[in-house]
Amino acid sequence: MRTLTNQQILTLNVLLFCLVTLLGCQQKSLIPGYEVLSVPASSERYITGAKWIPATGSHGLAFADVNDANGLEKMAPHNIANAEAKLTANFSEWYAAKIGLKSSKDVNLTCNNLKHHFVKDAYGLSTEGLVLWETITAESMTLEIVEDSNSVIDVDLSEDKIKKVLEGELNLNVSSEGNNTYKIKSNRRLVVAIKVVNLDRNAKGKLSSPIDLSDNSIGRPQKAELGYSVIVEGVDHFTEEAELFVMNDKFIGFTGAPYSFIGGKPCEIHQREAIGSDSDYIWDTLSIYWNPDRKKCVLSVKRQTLDIKPAKSGLKGVK
């Protein structure tokens, strides 16, 4: 019998790992681009815009402005079809198994007052790596046990049994509404689906060019890096403040705009959407380095890009 060498065993292990990884990546999500939780969680655990710790949850506060939209109107059109039913499918399976039902069809779950929470402006993010980019939440959920199926025979469907799993294991508030119907709530909104992304931030080194900020420079165009040109409109030499009219012929539809520069504080160019790039987000900041000889000041340009790539949360049971 032939014995494999250590190198051959290592190669086989690598191939097996790649195969398992490939099969895992091919598993389809209930809603493409999102991960539907197996059990709902309080929104204080999953904070939209916050840094994401794999297999654990969000960490710290949000690093960006977050917008809310009622319902699922902000979701891509191809994802909206049957989305509300898909948001509860995973939880229905989990709960049916917990209380001893044979099929999740014996559990009717609906989300009440859905909201979509998403990062409004990635430019405001001061972090990189994994971020909780979007969450879908419900104000509450309605649970109904269907007793006219053969699968519920000999299953304890008492109110105490129904509540025990939700209140004991998930720390949710449950109230009976009669007819085997229950309202599920939490102190915060319930997160039912999430989207985690990986942020890859890059910044080019500052590109610098001389700028004349003497009184004689006012009204005269001066060239800068990355296609910029500026016209000095006013200078306060004592406070080191300057008013510049900033232009860039490479920006489509940008005819120029006035910007105020205070000391060496960077000034962000708002026409970031006009900058041609393959990146998801791109923006420039301009800064002035003042010289006692105002004819020898320096104007620097720093270009930053931010690419957003889908990432897995690492949470167990998500679909």
pLDDT tens series, the chain, 319 aa: 455 555 544 444 434 434 334 444 445 789 999 999 999 988 888 999 889 999 888 888 777 788 999 998 888 887 887 898 999 999 999 988 888 887 888 889 999 999 999 988 777 676 778 999 999 999 999 999 887 655 665 677 788 888 888 888 888 999 989 888 999 998 899 999 999 999 888 887 789 999 999 999 999 999 999 999 999 999 999 999 999 999 998 888 888 999 999 999 999 887 777 777 778 888 899 999 999 999 999 999 998 888 899 999 999 999 9
Question: Are 288 and 155 found together in one domain?
Answer: no
Interior angle at CA 186, CA 185 and CA 190, nearest 5: 85
Residue 8 inside a domain? The answer is no
Instruction: Single out the residue of 53, 33, 17 nearest to residue 309, CA to CA.
Output: 33
The helix or strand, by DSSP H or E, that contains position 23, with its residue range, turns out to be helix 6-25
Q: Are 14 and 27 in contact (CB under 8 A)?
A: no
Question: Are 196 and 63 found together in one domain?
Answer: yes
Domain containing 256 equals 204-306
Question: Are 112 and 218 found together in one domain?
Answer: no
Would you call 157 helix, strand, or coil by DSSP? coil
d(CA 127, CA 131) in angstroms, rounded, equals: 8
Q: What is the pLDDT of residue 161?
A: 83
d(CA 82, CA 302) in angstroms, rounded, equals: 45
d(CA 26, CA 23) in angstroms, rounded, equals: 5
Where a domain ends, among 158, 181, 201? 201
Q: What is the pLDDT of residue 99?
A: 84
- E strands, the chain, are 35-42, 51-53, 57-59, 66-70, 107-119, 129-145, 173-176, 181-185, 190-203, 207-211, 221-223, 228-236, 241-248, 257-262, 267-268, 281-289, 297-311
Question: Are 103 and 190 found together in one domain?
Answer: yes
Count of domains for the chain: 2
Question: Are 77 and 169 found together in one domain?
Answer: yes
Q: How many CB atoms lie within 10 A of CB 86?
A: 18
* CB contact burial 198-235 (16+ within 10 A = b; e otherwise): bbebeeeebeeeebbbeeebeeeebebbeebebbbeeb
Residue 275 inside a domain? The answer is yes
Question: Are 168 and 295 found together in one domain?
Answer: no
| Both structure tokens of 152 | 């519920």
d(CA 143, CA 96) in angstroms, rounded, equals: 11
Where a domain ends, among 147, 180, 201? 201
Question: Are 49 and 196 found together in one domain?
Answer: yes
Where a domain ends, among 185, 201, 217? 201
Would you call 162 helix, strand, or coil by DSSP? helix
d(CA 256, CA 228) in angstroms, rounded, equals: 10
Q: What is the pTM of this model?
A: 0.77
Instruction: Single out the residue of 250, 239, 242, 244 nearest to residue 220, CA to CA.
Output: 244
Question: Are 51 and 187 found together in one domain?
Answer: yes
